[in-house]
Chains A and B, each alone.
Chain A
Amino acid sequence: MSTRLAKGGRLLNRNRALDFIFNGRHMRGFEGDTLASALLGEGQVLMGRSFKYHRPRGVVASGAEEPNALMNVGEGARFEPNQRATTQELYDGLRADSQNHWPSLEFDVGVVNNYAARFLPAGFYYKTFMQPRAAWKHLFEPVIRKSAGLGRVPKERDADRYEHFHAHVDTLVIGGGLAGLTAARRAADAGGTVLLIEQTAHWGGRAPVDGGRIGGADPEGWVKNAVQELDVKDNVRMRTRCMGAGIYDHGYVLAYERLTDHAPDADGPRHRLWKIRARQVVVATGAIERPLSFAGNDLPGVMLAGAVRDYVVNWAVSPGDRTVIVTNNDDAYRTALALHSAGLQVPAVIDARTAPQSALIQQVRDAGIRVETGRAIASVKGRARVTGVAITGQAGEGAVLEEIGCDAVAMSGGWSPAVHLWSHCGGKLVWDEAQAFFRPDPDRAPTGADGAAFVRVAGAANGAMSTAEVLADAGADAAAESETPAPILPVWIMPQGAGPELRAKMWLDYQNDVKVSDVQLAAREGYESVEHTKRYTTLGMATDQGKLSNINGLAVLSNALNAPIPEVGTTTFRPPYTPISFGSIAGEARGDLFQPLRRTAMHDWHSINGAHWEPVGQWRRPYCYRRGDESVEDAVMREVKNTREAVGLLDASTLGKILVKGPDAGRFLDMMYTNMMSSLKVGCCRYGLMCSENGFLIDDGVVARLSEDEWLCHTTTGGADAIHAHMEEWLQTEWWDWQVFTANLTEQYAQIGVVGPRAREVLDLLGGMDLSKDAMPFMSWANGTLGGFDVRVFRISFSGELSFEIAVKAAQGRALWDALALAGREFGAMPYGTEALHVLRAEKGFIMIGDETDGTVIPQDLGLNWAISKKKDDYIGKRAQARAHMTDPDRWKLVGLETLDGSVLPDGALALAEGENANGQRRTQGRVTSTYYSPVLGRGIAMGLVHRGPDRMGEVIRFARLDGTEVEARIVSTVFYDPDGEKQNV
């Protein structure tokens, strides 16, 4: 039974009790507790169930490496699953539930998997779910989905705020223990800016718990002093609750700061993701203790020896009244002393080493604690928690020599440097035979932009395990009393000769239920690579990413393969170090800030006048304007008819407007466009096509020549930025000696289309310009004043109607729109949206980039040869359009399509051909690119790309509908409405 001790607890504030609820039960802890220490203090050892076998599990560690004690924490909009009880600080009112069990933690139906364990071996998934195929969908997948995953998925929208912060520093030190504090001090003294981060809420790491003397002071005092000295330095910044999550190329580091997880009612963001650029990074992340692999090592009550010490010293919690210690190294002896001085019983220290001798061991013996050497645990007794241990010789096969009653076991298999961050960006490791761990290889450090190492490791993360070594490694002035521990004995299974029955109860990965026997099976089945074994057995693939299990697992694998450990190697360490929240990754990009929504100057008018919005790139454009309870479809039909019969207003502000100026501008535009722009007369407009070097059509629009050396190029809405960049790319990287400047004026002007037979009347009512046919013919432009607004008017048409596009400064855009709406009232003016625009242009057979084009279509496919100059030697895409398959007469080409029954063809429908292709699929001979109901013609109209289409006028072909039926359509001209263009030339 775990309990709270009457005295002690260096992190506790006993004056402030905190109430919390676990699995519906009211419990109490203290300020300074973690959820795990508070639960232990309340006697709650059982904290979860394992993933595969649903075995009962207690907390095993005291920090970020914890694999077992995962909790659902919080509720409603602040609910979050898979929170480690060891890193969740306690707060008043905290609600937590254990996971992965049904109906309750104490009685879990899923535990039947445990008894079926021998039917669930390594690679179970791969072996079982292969055949029959149908079983996957109906049997395996539903079962797996039900049992997969830990915790529950949050149901409500997250109530919290998250943010990023960009920091640029000379030195980043990750880890606030002795090594980190020392390294930060040294970097600060050297003069640069220093950021020191620590993942827990406390400075000092393990030192205050582990004891010893530093320069005559106790570690706690030394840490306090070091923190104070750093705190007053101008060039040092320090953050607790801030974890180094990942190290990336060129000194880029992500750090995860948890601001309110310990105080959810506080103002401000919950998490802040730091995006740090550091010239130098010091990794001082300490070490992680390894479990020992003995039978029953996963029972609640079996814990890491260092964690047991932490709970006693930091939080005054005893995991048990009688704790047996099992170890292969000296460090666990500190736990014996800590328990002893807290007044708790240590029935025995079981040491696998035959005759270890050191001052520390002697101290334990002197305290009267029984020390058994050359011994091992044969098995742990108990079902839901520890009741005793059976002792055997480490060298043997497990014959029981003795049973010792106890309610907790503290184990230590040695410590592994936390090399994760070192490894993220390519730092390599060496196997240290003497100390039995991988440590960073200083000769193969991660390198930065200049080719030099930018990551350095200090302290225990570098394999310096004693306080004296840590301080020396980090470059401290102070020295600690040196200790000479007895050497570690690598112990990968316990006892050494354990048979299959014991090996099947030795857990490596607690969270994913991977045992020694599973790894050995994988080796027998031919898995030699540690990476393959990981995936086959799922070792190290749980949320803890194998922080406890990786080294033990690969040691077992190397034994099974009879290969040395360094040859087998480690799996890849990948960021983040521990899981970070999705919210922190998104940062501010949530809700309205998820992505920028671009708005025109008339946006608010559209909004209050019934706009049904359509995203076009990042713009929001009105798809149509609904009146009253009118449907979207009816609104579109009304807008099309009104524009054909009276006059429509279109917000065309989103079209790109790029100014191109200079002595070589004409020559440059002749290269950019397929047709001739240098010959355009000042005052005139010309429609132009732009292709990529591959020959494919990328953009189109009207070009106006403003003066002798100035052209204004209109682009599509989505193309403005890309086409401007495209022009700059060619100017900067190919024709840098040409004298041309460009400027993207897209946002300088609001642009309004006034379209329809009564368009001129509306503008004449505003007054100020002669817009008659003679003064302003089709495809011309003029500057002037309309209704007091300085405007540029383009007489161009994308609808086949009489049409003027009026550009005005954006700050006047809304005012001009209001004036036009008012002036247009007596002529029946209505705004129209993008869908009406599409119908109008489709009726006229005008192509739309993105509908008729998809990155594989050349202008010749669309019958646009008239817009390709024959006189020019060159333009971007010209050579490509002469390639053999581009000139192939068998290409699909654009035609109009009229269904025989007048129905609307489905968008994207394929035209059917006879026979099947090599894959056994129906052959096709074309596809629909644009299809609409034309209210003017009273029938469906469409355009499509059809095999040799223009040569097959009048032919009837069939198109497939999604429901399996077919529809017949006749190949016709793409121009459905006013083929002679009489309406736009009035």
Chain B
Amino acid sequence: MLILHCPYCGVDADETELAPGGEAHLVRRGPEASEDAFHDYLFVRENPRGVHFERWRHAAGCGKWFHAARCTVTMEVFGTYPAQVTEPPADLLAAISAKRPGWRWRDFT
């Protein structure tokens, strides 16, 4: 039963107010995509033991989508941030590095 801080309305939201949205920072592939690239976009996901980036929606609250960086082992939440970005904020990446030296998730380190 997680608590995630909604970066839009400032509420520390109970998991039962939230809706999960899977992996964060997927890049949409459209009609121009190759068969392989489109397949990866649809189906290939990270399954890390450790640092993970996810999408959540404050569904029973302000309704906004946001991202969360979380440890899948300890449930530690490194931070949450708005969904209107293509990569995690630099200070969050630094904070994760301080806590989990040598971590890697896709191309983020």
Q: Which residues of A contact B35 (CB under 8 A)?
A: 883-884
Q: Does B92 contact A (CB under 8 A)?
A: no
Given contacts A447-B76, A694-B42, contact A729 B21 (CB under 8 A): yes
Q: Does A728 contact B (CB under 8 A)?
A: yes
CB atoms of B99 and A451 under 8 A apart: yes
Q: Does A732 contact B (CB under 8 A)?
A: yes
Residue of B nearest to A693 (CB): B42
CB atoms of A728 and B74 under 8 A apart: no
Q: Does A364 contact B (CB under 8 A)?
A: no
Q: Which residues of B contact A249 (CB under 8 A)?
A: 1-2, 75
Q: Tell me the B12-44 residues at the A interface (CB within 8 Å).
A: 14, 19, 21, 28-31, 33, 35, 38, 42
| A247 shortest CB reach to chain B, Å | 10
Q: Does B63 contact A (CB under 8 A)?
A: yes
Q: Which residues of A contact B30 (CB under 8 A)?
A: 873-874, 878-879
CB atoms of A883 and B65 under 8 A apart: no
CB atoms of B64 and A277 under 8 A apart: no
Q: Which residues of B contact A277 (CB under 8 A)?
A: 3, 14
CB atoms of A449 and B2 under 8 A apart: yes
A447–B75 CA distance with the chains assembled, in angstroms? 8
A16–B30 CA distance with the chains assembled, in angstroms? 80
Q: Mark A78-112, 1 if CB is under 8 A from B, else 0.
A: 00000000000000000000000000000000000
A882–B14 CA distance with the chains assembled, in angstroms? 41
CB atoms of A736 and B38 under 8 A apart: no
Query: Range of interface residues on chain B?
Result: 20 to 34
CB atoms of A732 and B83 under 8 A apart: yes
A736–B29 CA distance with the chains assembled, in angstroms? 17
| B32 shortest CB reach to chain A, Å | 8
Residue of A nearest to B43 (CB): A694
| A472 shortest CB reach to chain B, Å | 31
Q: Does B84 contact A (CB under 8 A)?
A: yes
Q: Does A248 contact B (CB under 8 A)?
A: yes
A447–B77 CA distance with the chains assembled, in angstroms? 11
Q: Does A774 contact B (CB under 8 A)?
A: no
Q: Which of B59, B64, B77 contacts A732 (CB 8 A)?
A: B64
Q: Which residues of A contact B31 (CB under 8 A)?
A: 873-874, 878-879, 882
Most interface-central of A251, A426, A873, A880 (chain B CB within 10 A): A880
Q: Which residues of B contact A451 (CB under 8 A)?
A: 71, 74, 76, 99
Q: Which of A449, A694, A732, A874 contacts B75 (CB 8 A)?
A: A449
A882–B30 CA distance with the chains assembled, in angstroms? 11
CB atoms of A880 and B77 under 8 A apart: no
Q: Which residues of B contact A252 (CB under 8 A)?
A: 1
Most interface-central of A693, A879, A883 (chain B CB within 10 A): A879
Q: Which residues of A contact B63 (CB under 8 A)?
A: 728
Q: Which residues of A contact B2 (CB under 8 A)?
A: 249-250, 449
Q: Does A484 contact B (CB under 8 A)?
A: no
Residue of B nearest to A166 (CB): B14
CB atoms of A729 and B65 under 8 A apart: yes
A251–B77 CA distance with the chains assembled, in angstroms? 13
Provide a sorted-by-A list of 10 A–B residue pairs whose CB atoms are within 8 angstroms. Answer: A250-B1, A251-B3, A426-B74, A447-B76, A448-B75, A451-B99, A693-B42, A879-B30, A879-B38, A880-B42
Contacts from B to A (Cβ < 8 Å): 1-3, 14, 19, 21, 28-31, 33, 35, 38, 42, 55, 57, 59, 63-65, 71, 74-77, 83-84, 99
In the complex, besides A733-B65, A878-B31, 17 extra interface pairs with C-beta distance below 8 angstroms are A248-B1, A249-B75, A250-B3, A252-B1, A449-B2, A449-B75, A728-B63, A732-B65, A732-B83, A733-B84, A734-B28, A873-B30, A873-B31, A874-B31, A878-B30, A879-B33, A883-B38
Contacts from A to B (Cβ < 8 Å): 248-252, 277, 426, 447-451, 693-694, 725, 728-729, 732-734, 736, 873-874, 878-880, 882-884
7 closest A-B pairs by CB = A252-B1, A451-B76, A736-B84, A732-B65, A250-B3, A449-B77, A733-B83
